Amino acid sequence: MTDEKKGQKIFIVEDDLDLSEMLSAYFRVQGYDVSTASRGEDAVAAISKDIPDVAVLDIRLPDIDGFEVCRRLRRARRTQNLPVIFLTEKRERDDKLSGLELGAVDYITKPFDIQELRLRVRNALRRARLSTLLNPVTGLPEGPLVKERVDQMLTYSDWGVVLAGIRGLNKFRDRFGFVAADDVSRAVTLMIANAVQESGTGDDFVGHADSGDFLILTTSERSPKLAERCMVRLQPSIQYFYPALERQRLHEMSESERLGVYVATVSSQEVKASNLEELFAALESRRL
């Protein structure tokens, strides 16, 4: 077993038990930790509980199809970036486009060359490792890199933090699709970057909290101005995230159905925080 493969987990979702056993045995010999499921519902539950490094997912399943499995995984923050390789007998262009829209990293049709599948799995794992510090949609830092910067900031005597984001994005994604929701995230990234450029300095840091919220690390003096600029830029833009025909009926929607903006800010002058959990507790209590 190589160090590269040691501890890496592959989850195979395949209702053909002979094929599932063959793939499982093959990848175990290659040094991977392999789990399997033959039904989509079971796969969603198992993957959500113990997240693998990559999922090999058949589209034709006895209950929900592979597209729905992937769709549910994408809705959850913990599994939304899980690399998925679709394994299917379907060859139609529309099926491939559906898989790619859901964020699949690859698509391989049966019958397939087992060596080709092994290389595709290996490449997906390598790409995933390289991107673990950056959000795949916005390109902003997240995870360990953000935690490191926050921990460092909390050792300073003067600091300020702005938390900003879009409320209702999951419902928006369900209705208009993943591509539209990703476009919203990218647009918000650009607007926040512009707000920082207008009211901040080159020393300010922008990244993602674990929840997907945008996090700006700055000083106590600049944080209120940045929070205001974020709200001023984001709030008027909400209507333009919707398709043109939908904008005309936004006033008919309840607040819980529409996208919304939230912004919060705290500083070393207002709260005492010694770790990430205390900082986010303070921010959550101040969401606007």
Residues 15 and 61: beta-carbon distance below 8 Å: yes
DSSP 64-97: S-HHHHHHHHHHSTTTTT--EEEEES---HHHHH
pLDDT > 90? residue 224: yes
Q: What is the pLDDT of residues 115-145, one digit of tens each?
A: 888 998 988 888 777 666 778 788 898 888 8
Beta strand 214-218 with 33-37 is unpaired
- For every residue of the chain, DSSP letters joined together read --TTTTT-EEEEE-S-HHHHHHHHHHHHHTT-EEEEESSHHHHHHHHHHS--SEEEEES--SSS-HHHHHHHHHHSTTTTT--EEEEES---HHHHHHHHHTT-SEEEESS--HHHHHHHHHHHHHHHHHTTTB-TTT--B-THHHHHHHHHHTTSSS-EEEEEEEETHHHHHHHH-HHHHHHHHHHHHHHHHHHHHHHS-TT-EEEE-TTS-EEEEE-TTTHHHHHHHHHHHHGGGGGGGS-HHHHTTGGGS-TTTS-EEEEEEEETTT---SSHHHHHHHHHTT--
pLDDT in tens, 225-252: 999 999 999 999 999 999 988 888 888 8
pLDDT of res. 6: 55
Which positions ≥6 away from 22 have C-beta within 8 Å?
none
In whole angstroms, what is the distance from residue 9 CA to residue 150 CA? 30
- Strand 106-109 and strand 84-88: the pairing is parallel
Which one, of 72, 46, 70, lies nearest residue 58 by Cα?
Answer: 70
Tokens of 215: 């996090």
Q: What is the pLDDT of residue 3?
A: 45
Whether the model pTM is above 0.75: no
Rounded to an integer, the average pLDDT of 35-49 is 95
Give pLDDT, residue 37.
96
The dihedral region occupied by 272, where left means phi > 0, alpha psi between -120 and 50, and beta the remainder, is beta
**pLDDT higher than threshold 60 for residue 211:** yes
Q: Which of 88, 32, 84 is nearest to 60 (CA)?
A: 88
For 227, other C-beta atoms within 10 Å of its C-beta total 25
Judged against a pLDDT cut of 50, whether residue 216 lies above it is answered with yes
Asked if the model's pLDDT at residue 2 lies above 60, the reply is no
DSSP string, 159-210: -EEEEEEEETHHHHHHHH-HHHHHHHHHHHHHHHHHHHHHHS-TT-EEEE-T
**pLDDT value of position 26:** 94
Q: pLDDT tens digit string along 183-193?
A: 999 999 999 99
